[in-house]
Amino acid sequence: MTYTSLVRNLCLTLLLVGTGLTGCKENTISEGVLPYFEPATTDADGGTWRTVLLSSAGSITVPTPTAITSDAYQTELTSVKNGMLTSTPEQNTAVNYWGQGGVVRWNQIARQLVAKYNTAPVYNDVTGQYLATDPNAPVASLPFATRLYALLSAAQYDALVVAWRAKYQYNRPSLNRQNIITRVPVADVPSYPSEGAAIAEASAQILTYFFPNEADYIKAKATEHKQSQLWAGINVASDVKAAETLATAVVAVALNRARTDRFSNSADTWTSLKAKAPYDVTWQSLEIPARVPVGPLAGRVKTWFDSTAVTRLAPVAPPLTNTTAFQTSLTEVRAVADSRTRDQWATADYWNDGLATYTIAGHWNLIAEQLIQEDHQNELRAARTYAVLNRALHDVTTTGWQAKYTYFVPRPAQLDTQIKTSVLMPNSPAYVSDHAAQSAAANTILTYLFPVETTWLKKQSDAAIISTLYAGTQYRFSIDAGSQLGIGIGTLATNWAKADGAK
């Protein structure tokens, strides 16, 4: 293991522990002070990159800025200079926080909100029923989380492509080129419109849509992020205003997709699906008392990549319980559970990503964060990384969930009550393995984006994929099918990235 890999493994462990995922009392994720870096590229052609939600970056018009020689601009510039001379400790803290990467910071906030709301329904002993979910406090299960991560990343990315197009269309010089020394390293790109403000506005609107009860907190963080661009000497007020406007236009398209992506139907009745399941023994909830499974119709949600291509990757039917293939897999789970080693237990625990965490998809977002930092990616490139990754993780979840609620394959402990799991049993059918599908997809994409990390990424992916067998919650055949699905959709995503115009 290289020194870099050793440090990264230690950091990942500390970050996962440091988030306080088992008792999320605060909304802000705590991942310590990230390293500052000067972005490795400026990507002057970024405004021509292929967009996700928009037909093209040119579909949104950014107005011409006032000349830097105008009185209006000079007044704004003077205000920034004076503000930097009289900054408060609180403002300096905000500059340091956001200066370590707006895209990364908003991804952290999204993950922490997912962890906060990734809870089981509350059971009422008096009525003998689970309480209904408050629509303003949604249950952030894996289908919910991957939908959120994908929409957030796509909106951030498209807003930044639009911003980059306007930057090089108008070429308002950066403040660094106007003899202002910024307080944090920034990409040497034109200042209009503000990339930081575009990220803040797009992120805030998307997260507020998903977490209405967090609106005040999210708005405060967005305001702080935008203001930090002034306090740091990165932008003037008109840079920020233009970014807010363009981001709002992008979010309107994003939210229209969200309202029509069929996710709202994913909590409908599921018993008719179970009755039609082409399987000899069907899944039952092992919770006490039993409860409705997680997201039974989430497999109907609209995919990000070509739906026909995604459909062709759907898993084949699993072996029936009375076949040799199934019984061999069940016996293997029992054997592992009976003789689970310390290392197997540790692997299962590290990759558990169950309730009160930001899910297996969030875990891979954390890994992407580390790679983005090490690669010194600017905001546009960081958004692209997350957008490619998270759309694939969403489509993997959608396809995998469709298989879950087509076959209703029981978990191993339902068929062999002597199997003791090392983690809480997921309240969903077994086939296919979410961890295997998510991790195989993430490995495929991140290896393409960060080829120098191929060996390290495969090690992480291999551990995540096998972790559910070690935990006693999955069969080998379910893991294999999930891996195949993840590789297939990961390949669709990398093919998209190869043709998006980014060099």
Identify whether 416 is part of a domain: yes
Which of 259, 289, 313 lies at the terminal end of a domain, its last residue?
259
pLDDT digits (tens, 9 = 90+) for 262-287: 997 654 578 889 999 999 999 999 99
- Please name which of 108, 102, 112 lies closest in space to residue 140, comparing C-alpha atoms: 112
Instruction: For residues 366 and 244, state if they share a domain.
Output: no
Identify whether 8 is part of a domain: no
Q: What is the mean pLDDT of the chain?
A: 92
Which pLDDT band holds residue 128 (cuts at 50, 70, 90)?
Answer: low
pTM, 2 dp: 0.93
Residue bearing tokens 């490995």: 443
- Ranked by mean pLDDT, the top range of 10-24, 267-281, 355-369 is 355-369
Instruction: For residues 437 and 370, state if they share a domain.
Output: yes
Q: CATH number for the domain including 278?
A: 1.10.606.20
Burial of 321 (0-12, 13-18, 19+ CB in 10 A): middle
Which of 195, 227, 259 lies at the terminal end of a domain, its last residue?
259
Instruction: For residues 242 and 299, state if they share a domain.
Output: no
Average pLDDT over residues 176-180: 96
Instruction: For residues 190 and 100, state if they share a domain.
Output: yes
Q: How many domains are there within the chain?
A: 2
pLDDT digits (tens, 9 = 90+) for 217-236: 999 999 999 999 999 999 99
Identify whether 20 is part of a domain: no
Instruction: For residues 198 and 306, state if they share a domain.
Output: no
Residue bearing tokens 């932008």: 235
Average pLDDT over residues 30-39: 76
Burial of 148 (0-12, 13-18, 19+ CB in 10 A): buried
Average pLDDT over residues 301-308: 97
Going by C-beta distance under 8 Å and a sequence separation of 6 or more, which residues neighbour residue 269?
A: none
Amino acid of residue 268: D
User: What is the C-alpha to C-alpha distance for residues 176 and 91, in angstroms, rounded to an integer?
Assistant: 20
Which pLDDT band holds residue 122 (cuts at 50, 70, 90)?
Answer: confident
User: What is the C-alpha to C-alpha distance for residues 87 and 217, in angstroms, rounded to an integer?
Assistant: 23
Which pLDDT band holds residue 13 (cuts at 50, 70, 90)?
Answer: very low
129 pLDDT exceeds 80? no
Identify whether 119 is part of a domain: yes
455 pLDDT exceeds 60? yes
Average pLDDT over residues 255-261: 97
Identify whether 38 is part of a domain: yes
Identify whether 7 is part of a domain: no
55 pLDDT exceeds 60? yes
366-405 burial, b if ≥16 CB within 10 A, otherwise e? bbbbbbbbbbbbbbbbbbbbbbbbbbbbbbbbbbbbbbbb
Identify whether 13 is part of a domain: no
Amino acid of residue 93: T
Instruction: For residues 246 and 127, state if they share a domain.
Output: yes
Instruction: For residues 420 and 294, state if they share a domain.
Output: yes
Q: How many helices (H) and strands (E) does the chain have?
A: 18, 2
Ramachandran region, residue 295 (left: φ > 0; alpha: ψ -120 to 50; beta: rest) = left
DSSP one-letter string for 248-262: HHHHHHHHHHHHTSS
Instruction: For residues 251 and 299, state if they share a domain.
Output: no
Instruction: For residues 191 and 334, state if they share a domain.
Output: no
Instruction: For residues 286 and 243, state if they share a domain.
Output: no
Identify whether 286 is part of a domain: yes
Task: List residues bridging with 129 in a β-sheet.
Answer: 124
Instruction: For residues 236 and 317, state if they share a domain.
Output: no
Percentage of the chain exceeding pLDDT 70: 92
Average pLDDT over residues 356-364: 97
Which of 210, 235, 259 lies at the terminal end of a domain, its last residue?
259
Query: Helix or strand or coil: residue 129?
Result: strand
Q: Which domain holds residue 215?
A: 33-259
* 52's tokens: 């996700």
* 24-28, 136-140, 299-303, range with the lowest pLDDT: 24-28
**Predicted local distance difference test score (pLDDT) of residue 266:** 52
pLDDT digits (tens, 9 = 90+) for 390-422: 999 999 999 999 999 999 999 999 999 999 999
Instruction: For residues 208 and 240, state if they share a domain.
Output: yes
